[in-house]
Amino acid sequence: MKRLSIVLALSAALFAKTYVLEDSYMIDGDTIRASHIVGIEKEQDFVIDRFNNKNAVQFPFNKLKRIFDERNISIDSQAAIVTFYYSSSVDYEIIKERVKERFIDAYPTIIINEINVKPLSFSDIGALEIVQIDISQNALRGNKGSLTVWFGSENSKAKRAFFSFEIDANFRVLQATKQIARGTILTQDNVKEILIAFDRVGSSPIDKSSLGKIAAKNRLNKGDMITERSIALIPDVRKNAQIATELVRNGIKISFIGIVQKDADIGELVTIKDQNKRVFTARIISKELARIE
C-alpha cells in the first residue's frame, strides 16, 4: 500500500503542469495574487505580496519558486527577477498613442512595431483622467525613456506620475553608396534607402524626399548614414552663378548679367559684380533674377 502511494505521488509530480513565468506583470489593484501569474482554481489562490504605496515589487525567482513549491504548484522562468508593476486605473493606450504621435512627428520615416509603458512612481488616481502627457525632446533620441503624465478633471492638473517607455521600431534612412565629396548634391546616384532598427540617434535621419535639394556638408564615406548634421540645403542661387540683374530708377530699367558673390536664397540681399567688376547690392527675386536696391 505504501509503495502504491509513492508511485501515485511520483506520477502526479511527473504529470503536474509547470507554469512558465514572464519577467514582469501589470497588476490591477494593491494586492499581488498567485492567480495573476498562474492558472489556478479560486480555492487554491493566495496572496503573494502587496504594493503598499510602491509602484513595483520585485521577487527573485528562486524565492517565488519556494513559495509555490510549498503549495505543490510548479513554476519556471528564464528571468532571475520577476517584477510586479502597480497598474491602478491608468489608460495605457492613451499614453502609448501619445508616445507614437511624438515619435512620428520627430521622425516621419519611423515604423513603430510595438510600444511598452510601465509605471515608475505610485499614483492612486481614482477617477481622475489623463489631462496632459509630457515627453522631453531628449527622450525622443532613443528607444527607451521616461515621461510624465498629469491626471485631473476639466483640464485641471491634480496629480502626476512618471512612466518609462520602450519602443520597438525601424527607420527608413539614406545611406551613402560611395564616397561623396563635400558640396556634392545627394541623389539616387550616390545614396540608397535602407531599413534599420531604431536604437539611439544623435541627429535626425534624412528621407528620400530631400534628394536633389541637399548637398554633403563634409566628405561622406561609403556606408555613412545621411543625417541633418551631414547635409546642407542647396541654396537657391550658388556663389559665382550668373544671374540677370536689373536696376530700376525713375521708370528706366537697366539690365545686365551679374555674378553672385555668395550662396543665397530667394529674398536675401547679396553682393553682385558686373562684368567691369563694379559692386552692387541686390535682392534675389528668383533663381533667375536679382534686383538692385
What is the per-residue pLDDT for 3? Answer: 52
What is the per-residue pLDDT for 222? Answer: 95
CATH of 170-233, one of 3.40.50.970, 3.90.1210.10, 3.40.50.620, 3.40.190.10: 3.90.1210.10
What is the per-residue pLDDT for 260? Answer: 95
What is the per-residue pLDDT for 10? Answer: 43
Q: Measured in Å, how far apart are the chain's first and last C-alpha atoms?
A: 114
What is the per-residue pLDDT for 122? Answer: 66
What is the per-residue pLDDT for 271? Answer: 94
Question: What's the fold here for domain 242-292?
Answer: SH3 type barrels. (2.30.30)
Cell numbers representing residue 238 in the block: 550658388
Global confidence as pTM: 0.59
Contact 173, 196 (CB under 8 A): yes
For the chain, domain boundaries = 2-86, 92-102+119-164, 170-233, 242-292
- Residue 283, judged by CB atoms within 10 A of its CB (0-12, 13-18, 19+), counts as middle
> CA 197 → CA 142, 157, 171, 285, distances in Å?
11, 37, 6, 44
Per-residue pLDDT of the chain (293 residues; tens, 9 = 90+): 445 444 444 444 444 689 999 998 988 778 899 999 998 888 889 999 988 877 788 999 999 999 999 999 999 999 999 999 877 667 889 999 999 999 999 888 889 999 999 888 766 676 678 888 999 988 998 899 999 999 887 767 778 888 999 999 998 888 999 999 988 989 999 999 988 888 877 677 787 888 888 889 889 999 998 888 888 888 889 899 999 999 988 888 999 999 999 999 999 999 999 989 999 999 999 999 999 98
CA distance 244 to 289: 5
CA distance 221 to 258: 36
Which H, E and C letters describe 59-117, residue by residue? EEHHHHHHHHHCCCCEEECCCCEEEEEECCCCCHHHHHHHHHHHHHHHCCCEEEEEEEE
